[in-house]
């Protein structure tokens, strides 16, 4: 990578649980990294140093941009473009003074037939999936919320939302007197017929979530036999491994892609939308 190349730009998707960062050189993907929710002071530090790779250890020693970005970053460009979408409002103001910021809202995502309260993260993931995997496409985002978002020819068909795995576990603990809080280990999928309370909670939540996902996939395949399915989100890998193990042959219908939102931001950036101006 030519580190001073003017086409280097950054992508940021601020979610409910984490901040997701990505880097591109033009349309070439350099990689992603993730942080917990940052403070205003941390954001200001990053801005002062133009988000340069050497700055990230000051924020969190365990967080570093991908090697493709670091290895070519001897001379970092001044104020690389930052294309950002957020489902959380407070951090948006912290970035408002960055001179090369492009904030992407639902109105700027190249997706038709949307509705006012559709999350920009869902819209970006759908557009990214269509761009990367082709239309028609069903996106299953396994994160804080489990969402199903379907589209054809850059047009939203519709979808569904329910609590994600960890959200269900937290809710069950918070709203009952004696059910324990559980740490979720998706590397050890629980047996269906549990003989203790913790195991029963894990079995109920995990197996019924898999059943729900299979049901939506079956409905999608019935309506759109030529359509594809893409899993994404923080629990996407574990869900993909579990559901394809339980249902032989399903892996032929499901793709795993953790970076759909970034492909959606890339689609916006490539369009050079006239309505988007640096804030």
pLDDT bracket for residue 169 (50, 70, 90): confident
Domain ranges of the chain: 8-103, 110-260
**Range list of β-strands (E), 47-106:** 81-86, 101-103
Q: First and final CA of the chain: distance in angstroms?
A: 28
Contact between 63 and 56 under an 8 Å Cβ cutoff? The reply is yes
pLDDT tens digits for 44-81?
999 999 999 989 988 988 888 888 777 765 568 889 99
Question: CA triplet 105, 149, 18: central angle to 5 degrees?
Answer: 55
Is the pLDDT assigned to residue 180 strictly greater than 90? no
Is the pLDDT assigned to residue 247 strictly greater than 80? yes
Distance CA 261, CA 267 (A): 10
**pTM (2 decimals)?**
0.89
User: Can you give the pLDDT at residue 185?
Assistant: 63
97 is catalytic: no
Q: DSSP labels for 109-178?
A: SS-BS--TT--HHHHHHHHHHHHHH-SSEEEEEESSEEEEEEEETTEEEEEEEEE-HHHHHHHHHHTSSS
User: Can you give the pLDDT at residue 16?
Assistant: 84
Distance CA 62, CA 33 (A): 11
- Asked if domains 8-103 and 110-260 share a fold, the reply is yes
Query: pLDDT averaged over the chain?
Result: 87
Superfamily of domain 8-103: ATPase, nucleotide binding domain (3.30.420.40)
Burial of 92 (0-12, 13-18, 19+ CB in 10 A): middle
Distance CA 92, CA 12 (A): 11
Name the catalytic one among 121, 141, 257, 259: 121
pLDDT bracket for residue 6 (50, 70, 90): low
Q: Which CATH class is domain 110-260?
A: alpha beta
Distance CA 207, CA 193 (A): 11
Is the pLDDT assigned to residue 275 strictly greater than 90? no
């Amino acid at each position: 990578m030519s580190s001073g190349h003017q086409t280097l730009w950054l992508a940021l998707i601020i979610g409910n649980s984490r901040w997701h960062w990505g880097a591109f050189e033009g349309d070439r993907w350099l990689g992603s990294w993730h942080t917990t929710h940052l403070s205003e002071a941390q954001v200001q530090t990053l801005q002062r140093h133009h988000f340069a790779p050497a700055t990230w250890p000051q924020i969190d020693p365990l967080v570093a941009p991908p090697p493709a970005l670091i290895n070519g970053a001897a001379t970092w460009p001044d104020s690389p473009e930052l294309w950002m979408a957020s489902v959380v409002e407070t951090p948006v103001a912290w970035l408002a003074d960055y001179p090369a910021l492009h904030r992407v809202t639902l109105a700027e995502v190249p997706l038709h037939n949307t509705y006012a309260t559709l999350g920009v993260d869902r819209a970006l993931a759908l557009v990214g999936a269509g761009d990367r995997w082709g239309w028609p496409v069903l996106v299953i985002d396994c994160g804080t919320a489990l969402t199903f978002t379907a589209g054809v020819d850059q047009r939203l068909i519709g979808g569904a939302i329910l609590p994600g795995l960890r959200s269900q576990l937290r809710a069950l603990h918070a709203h009952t007197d004696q059910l324990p809080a559980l740490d979720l280990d998706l590397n050890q999928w629980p047996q269906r017929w549990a003989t203790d309370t913790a195991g029963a909670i894990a079995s109920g939540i995990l197996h019924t979530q898999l059943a729900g996902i299979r049901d939506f996939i079956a409905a999608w395949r019935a309506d759109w036999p030529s359509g594809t399915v893409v899993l994404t989100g923080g629990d996407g890998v574990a869900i993909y491994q579990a559901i394809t193990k339980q249902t032989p042959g399903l892996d032929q219908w499901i793709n795993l892609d953790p970076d759909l939102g970034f492909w959606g931001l890339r689609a916006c950036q490539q369009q050079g939308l006239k309505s988007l101006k640096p804030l």
